[in-house]
Amino acid sequence: MCGIFGYIGERNDAGKVVVEGLKNLEYRGYDSWGVAWKSNGIVSVRKDVGKISDVRSEDFSDICSLAIAHTRWATHGGVTKINAHPHTSCDQTVAVIHNGIVENYEELRRELTAKGHRFVSQTDTEIIPHLIEEELKTTKDFAAAVRATCLRIRGRFAIVAIHTHSAMLVAARNGSPLIVGVKRGGGEVSAPGRIEGYFIASDIPAFLDQTRIVQYLDDGEMLVSDGKSILFSDIQTGEERPKREIEIQWTQQQAEKGDFEHYMMKEIMEQKESVARAVNQDDAQIMTLAKAIREAQGTFLVGCGTASKACLAAEYFFSVIADKHVNVAPASEFKLYHHFLKPESLIVVVSQSGETADVLEAMRVAKSAGSKVIAIVNNEGSTIAREADYALRINAGPERAVASTKALTGQLAVLLLIAYALAGKLREGKTLLLETSSAINDMLNPRYIERLKALADKIQTKRDIFIIGKSWNYPMALESAIKIQEVSYIHAEGFAGGELKHGPIALIEEGTPCIALIGKDEVEQDSLSNAIELKARGGFIIGISPDRYDAFDEWIRVPDATAAQAIVNIIPIQVLAYFLAVARGKNPDMPRNLAKSVTVK
């Protein structure tokens, strides 16, 4: 949540640099935006409500080499210009951007108000520049003032700050991500070329067009940079923390929309290749994970939102393919399971961003019990990947749309692969998934896409949509509802097929769209019977299956993928949700009230 970007270096158009970088982070928040830059010994601030993508970068080409910028997803305080970041101190000498929540802000605000500080916003963030200002009354060292401020804040945060009387950019993190991009003259990791500048951001795509060399700021650490060098240190002790440089394999082209109108459709279409990339894993790594699950005394699959639906599907994968029981828990509920955890337990966490707050909290609950943690992530170098005992990447590449698509199918592919490895059938699993990838490539053709667009146009005025599935198609019914809800704002619900008759079937009226996810498996006939029940009550039945049945009013054909059916069945729903959003005049990349990476609880 919220996009943070800062620059310090040789360039004299830092304002323009941070605005352009911030546009690459808009998926993290788009309620409002703001920029602060230092020029001629003065810190200037400009901010407003709306999307940073509507702002002209050229309007920030003032001569300066130090600037910070922020795009907001509101947590404290309404969406107003005053509440937008950056926030400043009373004397306007300190400017701060922030991601996270200051849990003790009311206590600190009362204390600072008693000392004469004036607050103009309703945000918790405004506490921070005032605390720094107060600390500067007893020290002239800006970095020391930021450090002291961080020690007083409770909660998860990422902070970047600048000061009128300092040539430094100072940043700190505790729970919320911050990544450093290093711009070298040689353009290579540890090259002898001089440092041209540093980028500080909450995600890699912000500076991917400038550099692929990164350094990771870990929890409880801060950094200070003058644009020529950088110093990392422990917030508590001040002890220096040397960092190595890492070269990211993502390319800028992967992170751009190209010829697509929206990132969501681009990322849906990239599943032609991304599923195969997910399968391209080292056999030894997969067998190591399978062995850990086999030997654990209790395995938990944990995720949030879409990732949690991948975990639910994997519960069926492990049961049907490997005859192995695993437990599934939403990350936000996992701390309630601490009674069952022990050193022999294994926690498998699944996350696209690798920064999800509830997942990180679940990991720490597990670690406190001595349990081992395996992470399945997309974002290399993320906090979750670094804190896990073992991490496996799904190799989906950058995912910019808020609604996750290719990351989900990558997660499903990796979890299915592990299930096959657990059953001693890794080669069979790889063959199935590669065949599935090829089938997806054939399926996502222009005619198929146009068919789904026509269906979206047909049902886009409907008030409700219901989705049913059984076995591993049940979690995909839940995921289908999430996709439709979040981008089109149509009320959608997913159910286990047999549960409809226990209440929800009362909501079915003449013409209500009902989507049935069906595969050629042991529950095929049961699923079809559920669809017929809906049709008998007037439901408009949309069948997604390898075969056509008389019960279907509309049939969306998918390949017969056996155990990988969940992967191919969810893709047409992703396309349908996209076109429902477009038909209703919504931006599928930026659904209201949502952000890509949920880094606050």
pLDDT over threshold 90, residue 184: no
Q: Which two tokens stand for residue 332?
A: 């936000």
Q: Are residues 431 and 449 in the same domain?
A: no
Spell out the alpha helix ranges (H) of 423-511.
426-443, 446-459, 473-488
Spell out the alpha helix ranges (H) of 31-124.
105-114
> What CATH number is associated with residue 517?
3.40.50.10490
Cis peptide before 559 (omega within 30 of 0): no
Q: Who's near 11: CB < 8 A, 6+ residues apart?
A: 17, 65, 196, 197
Task: Give the pLDDT score at 317.
Answer: 97
Q: What is the 3-class SS of 210-255, one letter each residue?
A: CCCEEEECCCCEEEEECCCCEEEEECCCCCECCCCCEECCCCHHHH
- Residue 323: exposed, middle, or buried by beta-carbon count in 10 A (0-12, 13-18, 19+)? exposed
Q: Are residues 242 and 340 in the same domain?
A: no
Determine which of 428-442, 474-488, 492-506 has the lowest per-residue pLDDT on average. Answer: 492-506
Q: Which two tokens stand for residue 198?
A: 């540093």
pLDDT over threshold 70, residue 600: no
Q: Which domain-ending residue is among 442, 473, 504?
A: 442
Share of the chain above pLDDT 90, in %: 66
pLDDT over threshold 60, residue 191: no
d(CA 521, CA 224): 58
Q: Which two tokens stand for residue 160?
A: 């970047």
Task: Give the pLDDT score at 190.
Answer: 54
pLDDT band at 79 (very low <50, low <70, confident <90, very high): confident
The strand ranges marked E within 13-91 are 32-39, 42-49, 66-72, 87-88
Condensed to tens digits (0 to 9), the pLDDT of residues 492-512 reads: 999 999 887 788 888 899 999
Tally the domains of the chain. 3
Q: Who's near 425: CB < 8 A, 6+ residues apart?
A: 321
Q: Which domain-ending residue is among 412, 442, 472?
A: 442
The residue among 471 and 1 whose pLDDT is bigger is 471
d(CA 379, CA 173): 18
Task: Give the pLDDT score at 29.
Answer: 63
- Residue 44: exposed, middle, or buried by beta-carbon count in 10 A (0-12, 13-18, 19+)? middle
Task: Give the pLDDT score at 19.
Answer: 87
The H or E element that residue 230 is part of is strand 230-234
The 10 Å Cβ neighbour count of residue 365 is: 19
Task: Give the pLDDT score at 598.
Answer: 55
Share of the chain above pLDDT 70, in %: 94
Q: Are residues 333 and 228 in the same domain?
A: no
Under 8 Å between Cβ of 268 and 313: no
pTM of the model: 0.74
User: Shortest CA distance to 394 belongs to which of 92, 403, 402, 382?
Assistant: 382
Task: Give the pLDDT score at 376.
Answer: 95
Under 8 Å between Cβ of 49 and 84: yes
Determine which of 185-189, 228-232, 236-240, 263-267 has the lowest per-residue pLDDT on average. Answer: 185-189
Q: Which two tokens stand for residue 79?
A: 């969406």
- State the distance between the two ends of the chain, measured CA to CA, in whole angstroms: 10
The strand ranges marked E within 291-357 are 299-303, 327-330, 346-351
Q: Are residues 268 and 289 in the same domain?
A: yes
pLDDT band at 466 (very low <50, low <70, confident <90, very high): very high
Task: Give the pLDDT score at 502.
Answer: 83
d(CA 177, CA 123): 20
Q: Are residues 595 and 501 in the same domain?
A: yes
Q: Are residues 243 and 280 in the same domain?
A: no
Q: Which domain holds residue 422?
A: 257-442
Q: Tell me what the mean pLDDT of segment 355-384 comes to.
A: 90
> What CATH number is associated with residue 233?
3.60.20.10
- Residue 241: exposed, middle, or buried by beta-carbon count in 10 A (0-12, 13-18, 19+)? middle
Task: Give the pLDDT score at 1.
Answer: 59
The residue among 216 and 152 whose pLDDT is bigger is 152
Task: Give the pLDDT score at 186.
Answer: 64
pLDDT band at 192 (very low <50, low <70, confident <90, very high): low
Strand, coil or helix: 291? helix
User: Shortest CA distance to 495 belongs to which of 512, 478, 519, 480?
Assistant: 478
d(CA 154, CA 143): 19
Under 8 Å between Cβ of 184 and 199: no
d(CA 51, CA 380): 28
Under 8 Å between Cβ of 447 and 470: no
Q: Tell me what the mean pLDDT of segment 145-163 comes to.
A: 94
d(CA 392, CA 374): 8
Determine which of 107-111, 152-156, 447-451, 597-601 has the lowest per-residue pLDDT on average. Answer: 597-601
Q: Tell me what the mean pLDDT of segment 319-342 comes to.
A: 92
Residue 543's beta-bridge partner residues?
516, 555
Q: Are residues 137 and 30 in the same domain?
A: yes
Q: Are residues 250 and 261 in the same domain?
A: no
d(CA 89, CA 105): 15
Q: Are strands 157-163 and 94-100 parallel, antiparallel or unpaired?
A: antiparallel
272 flagged as catalytic: no
Q: Are residues 287 and 250 in the same domain?
A: no
pLDDT over threshold 60, residue 601: no
Residue 182's beta-bridge partner residues?
198
Q: Are residues 339 and 421 in the same domain?
A: yes
Q: Is the dihedral of CA 476, 414, 390, 328 positive or negative?
A: positive
Q: Are residues 177 and 265 in the same domain?
A: no
Q: Are residues 37 and 54 in the same domain?
A: yes
Q: Which of 2, 64, 150, 514 is catalytic?
A: 2
Q: Which of 38, 406, 535, 596 is catalytic?
A: 596
d(CA 222, CA 182): 16
Q: Tell me what the mean pLDDT of segment 24-46 comes to.
A: 83
Task: Give the pLDDT score at 512.
Answer: 95
64 flagged as catalytic: no
Residue 78's beta-bridge partner residues?
none
pLDDT band at 251 (very low <50, low <70, confident <90, very high): low
pLDDT over threshold 60, residue 597: no
User: Shortest CA distance to 407 belongs to which of 389, 393, 388?
Assistant: 393
Q: Which two tokens stand for residue 394?
A: 């799904």
Task: Give the pLDDT score at 194.
Answer: 82
d(CA 48, CA 584): 27
User: Shortest CA distance to 444 belongs to which of 313, 578, 258?
Assistant: 578
The H or E element that residue 225 is part of is strand 221-225
Q: Which domain-ending residue is among 254, 285, 305?
A: 254
Average pLDDT over the chain reads: 90
Task: Give the pLDDT score at 504.
Answer: 80
The residue among 569 and 51 whose pLDDT is bigger is 569
